[in-house]
Amino acid sequence: MRKAIILFLAPLLLFSYAPYSKIKNELRLLSKKAPSTAKVIDIGAGLVVLQIAEKGTLRPQERPAIFVAANINGDYPLATEAAVELAKKLVNEKPSILKDATFYILPVGNPHAYNYLFKTPKREFHKNATRWDDDRDGVIDEDPPEDINGDGYITTMLVKDPEGNYIHDPKDPRIVRKADPLKGEKGEYKLYTEGIDNDNDGEINEDDLGGVNIEKNFPHQWKPHTDDGGLWPASEAYTKAIIDFMFDHENIALVYSFSKFNNLLKLPPQKMGKTVEEMEVKVPKGMAGFLGLDPQKKYTIKQIVEIVKQMGIARGMEITPQMVATFFGLGPAVNINRSDLKFYEKISDEYKKFLKKNGVPTERDVKSPSDGSFEEWVYFQYGVPCFTTDIWSVPKQKKKSSGVLDKLEKMSKEEFLKLTKEEVEKMLKEMGAPSMMTAERVISAVKSGMITPKRMAEMAKKMQKPSAEGREADILAWIDKSLNGKGFIPWKKFNHPTLGEVEIGGFVPYIQTAPPLKLVEKNLEADENFALELAKKLPKLTIRKVKIQKLDKNIYMIKVWVGNEGFLPTSLMHGITNRQVPAVFVEISGGKILYGKKRNRTSKIDGFGTRKFSWVIMGKKGAKITITAFHAKSGKATRTIVLN
């Protein structure tokens, strides 16, 4: 059982999460407990990262690293819990991987939104503190929601209106959904966040407090003129602090994000049918003539790249498909490169097996990142793989099986009476029979001929209430089963100061993002442990073999085989395409080079792959020659040899 850091009693639920000040204190205590292993880094804007690495042959910033980013949105406390618990596990258990790899753990990406979990009245909030004029009336943050019924929560308000298009679901009145005209349903209510019209403009809660959603403020696919995306890409201090930290730490080779998204259970969507290389364009007439192409014909970006390379007009510049696509106004890449997709597929498959092995369900309500998200920026612009997990979601309700009723319907009187009392009790329970229908009474009724098994099944089917469907129905089913219903505030009539009679109620804030920790322990532990599995896949440079061949007096041929001991390549293909991930360099020092470059480079070394490099040098017998292979995201390997 994991220990709660701090407890607070909400009107309906007992949460076990820590405010941001306590989170930072937890990380500082870990660094004091193990100063040679853990170090707190203040990265700006009030954000902190815990660096975790054991003493090894390389300094922490020279080793391949995993950046564990949690709760960039700020309104997903479960993600923060996972990050803090992972930090404790690494510091306390000191797994051997910490001698070869570095972990950077960011527990919260938006502390302002995160701390709303601990404010009263309680409400879900995902923006930062930037003041924002939502309704464009020249006044900022003047119409936020309020807890007008004083129950400690800001929930949902239903207002009867002839133009309303919401109704209570007949199958479960707790659910409020849009009316379906095709089913003959007529709308009855308009739906608002609980509150009043503070600025008397006829709108309710249209200019809330803050702010910018950090998960929409990263540069990739950032959208202008939105309500919560910010004035420009990375306009917010939180966003910029995270980006600056990552560019300052070039050794980050992989990102593991605890968030509301999950690309391990469901691979990232291909937003366009073709990759950048496969996109087709018509080349403008003037340029087509220069390149020797037909302006009426379409060419793939890949074909154009090859033609430009063959013409030798790049003047040493590396021509990439993305560069050409941008030149033709095709916009940023939005699909994972097919060469990289195989790594996502492999790790996704391993993740699913890992969850099943640890008894964690893999069927979830999976969401994909939005435009301007941290997760998409990591792959498409920072250039490294990003694997993201939502840890847990409210389970989908299982449809009730009618197998028992079907079986009962086909039973004869004699077959039924052969059943034991315990078997009848089990059958009644599965049928959802009322408590007054005991096994003794039912057996007696069948024995006397008052009722037949078939008639009993028919009556039970008529009594069964059809269950509501959809995500809200799933949440209610989970609340009823796991929380004894204490996660939903029943709809109650309230006399609104300006609207008259309204209904206020709905789901308790954070019911989907901050569940009682005792209910999700397996999920948390599995996703924390999978971080160690990912760390084992990081690229790692090694010098596999060195061969010295004497050609003449003081003249030697040196051949070196540099390998990658990790599953992942030193760079994904997109990291090379967008020119963010540097090359692998292999350098020789000592002696005079007669053939070959002092520093050689290769764009990447595949997982478990090897590249050969060679030189001819002049040096005296017994001279020391040092070979160094290094890569920002794959570490460094050194071998010293003696000419002999």
User: Range with the lowest mean pLDDT among 22-31, 271-280, 485-494, 621-630?
Assistant: 271-280
Q: Does the structure show a pLDDT above 60 at 140?
A: yes
Domain of residue 293, residue span:
280-300+307-323
Check which CATH number belongs to the domain holding 377 and give it.
Answer: 3.40.630.10
In this prediction, residue 14 carries a pLDDT of: 42
What percent of the chain clears pLDDT 70, i.e. is strictly above it? Answer: 90
Q: Are residues 455 and 495 in the same domain?
A: no
User: Range with the lowest mean pLDDT among 206-210, 306-310, 312-316, 494-498?
Assistant: 312-316
337's tokens: 């490169």
In one-letter notation, the amino acid at residue 539 is P
Q: Which residue has the higher pLDDT, 543 or 411?
A: 543
CA angle 477, 79, 528 (to 5 degrees): 105
Q: Which residue has the higher pLDDT, 6 or 273?
A: 273
Q: Which residue has the higher pLDDT, 209 or 331?
A: 209
In this prediction, residue 41 carries a pLDDT of: 98
Q: How confident is the model at residue 1 (pLDDT cuts 50, 70, 90)?
A: very low
User: Range with the lowest mean pLDDT among 221-230, 314-323, 351-360?
Assistant: 314-323
416-428 tens-digit pLDDT: 888 898 888 888 8
535's tokens: 């760390």
467's tokens: 């269950």
CB 227 within 8 A of CB 135: no
Q: Which residues 6+ apart lie within 8 Å of 590 measured at CB?
A: 617, 619, 623, 624, 625, 626
Q: Would you say residue 253 lies in a domain? A: yes
CB 277 within 8 A of CB 90: no
Residue from 305, 215, 218 nearest 259 by CA: 215
User: Cα–Cα distance between 252 and 246 in angstroms, integer?
Assistant: 7
User: Range with the lowest mean pLDDT among 77-86, 285-294, 340-349, 451-460?
Assistant: 285-294
Q: Would you say residue 474 lies in a domain? A: no
CB 174 within 8 A of CB 491: yes
Q: What is the mean pLDDT of the chain?
A: 88
Q: How confident is the model at residue 206 (pLDDT cuts 50, 70, 90)?
A: confident
- C-alpha of 188 from chain center: 38
Q: Would you say residue 284 lies in a domain? A: yes
How many independent structural domains does the chain possess?
5
Q: Would you say residue 419 lies in a domain? A: yes
In this prediction, residue 270 carries a pLDDT of: 62
Burial readout 431-455 (b: 16 or more C-beta within 10 A, e: otherwise): bebeeeeebeebbeebeeeeebbee
Q: What is the mean pLDDT of residues 199-204?
A: 79
Q: Which range has the top average pLDDT, 36-45, 336-345, 469-478?
A: 36-45
Residue from 534, 568, 29, 633 nearest 258 by CA: 534
Q: Are residues 222 and 312 in the same domain?
A: no
Q: What is the mean pLDDT of residues 60-74?
A: 97
In this prediction, residue 7 carries a pLDDT of: 34
Q: What is the mean pLDDT of residues 520-526?
A: 96
Check which CATH number belongs to the domain holding 588 and give it.
Answer: 2.60.40.10
Bridge partners (DSSP) listed for residue 49: 41
542's tokens: 């090694």
Q: Does the structure show a pLDDT above 50 at 15?
A: yes
Q: How confident is the model at residue 129 (pLDDT cuts 50, 70, 90)?
A: confident
Q: Does the structure show a pLDDT above 90 at 108?
A: yes
Q: How confident is the model at residue 12 (pLDDT cuts 50, 70, 90)?
A: very low
User: Cα–Cα distance between 428 and 408 in angstroms, integer?
Assistant: 10
Q: Does the structure show a pLDDT above 50 at 145?
A: yes
- Per DSSP, 153 falls in state B
Q: Are residues 631 and 526 in the same domain?
A: no
CB 514 within 8 A of CB 15: yes
Q: Are residues 316 and 183 in the same domain?
A: no
Q: Would you say residue 473 lies in a domain? A: no
User: Cα–Cα distance between 188 and 193 in angstroms, integer?
Assistant: 17
In this prediction, residue 632 carries a pLDDT of: 95
> For tokens 């200019």, what's the residue?
207
Residue from 293, 114, 123, 259 nearest 193 by CA: 123
Q: Would you say residue 443 lies in a domain? A: yes
Q: Are residues 145 and 245 in the same domain?
A: no
Q: Would you say residue 475 lies in a domain? A: no
> For tokens 């308000």, what's the residue?
157
**What is the phi/psi pair of residue 339, to 5°?**
-70, -30
CB 159 within 8 A of CB 231: no
Relative to beta strand 166-169, strand 555-564 is unpaired
79 in helix, strand or coil? helix
Q: What are the percentages of helix, strand and coil residues in the chain, rounded to 5?
A: 30, 25, 45
Q: How confident is the model at residue 5 (pLDDT cuts 50, 70, 90)?
A: very low
In this prediction, residue 274 carries a pLDDT of: 58
Q: Are residues 149 and 286 in the same domain?
A: no
Q: Would you say residue 576 lies in a domain? A: yes
In this prediction, residue 588 carries a pLDDT of: 96
Q: What is the mean pLDDT of residues 475-495?
A: 93
Q: How many residues does the chain have?
A: 644
Q: Are residues 410 and 385 in the same domain?
A: no
Residue from 263, 276, 280 nearest 333 by CA: 276
CB 319 within 8 A of CB 312: no
- C-alpha of 223 from chain center: 20
Q: Are residues 157 and 236 in the same domain?
A: no
Largest Cα span, the chain? 113
Kindly report the pTM of this predicted structure.
0.82
CA angle 469, 155, 262 (to 5 degrees): 55
Q: Are residues 529 and 565 in the same domain?
A: no
Q: Does the structure show a pLDDT above 90 at 207?
A: no
Q: Does the structure show a pLDDT above 60 at 2?
A: no
Q: Are residues 111 and 232 in the same domain?
A: yes
Bridge partners (DSSP) listed for residue 550: 556
- Of 263, 291, 323, the domain-final residue: 323
Q: What is the mean pLDDT of residues 378-395?
A: 95
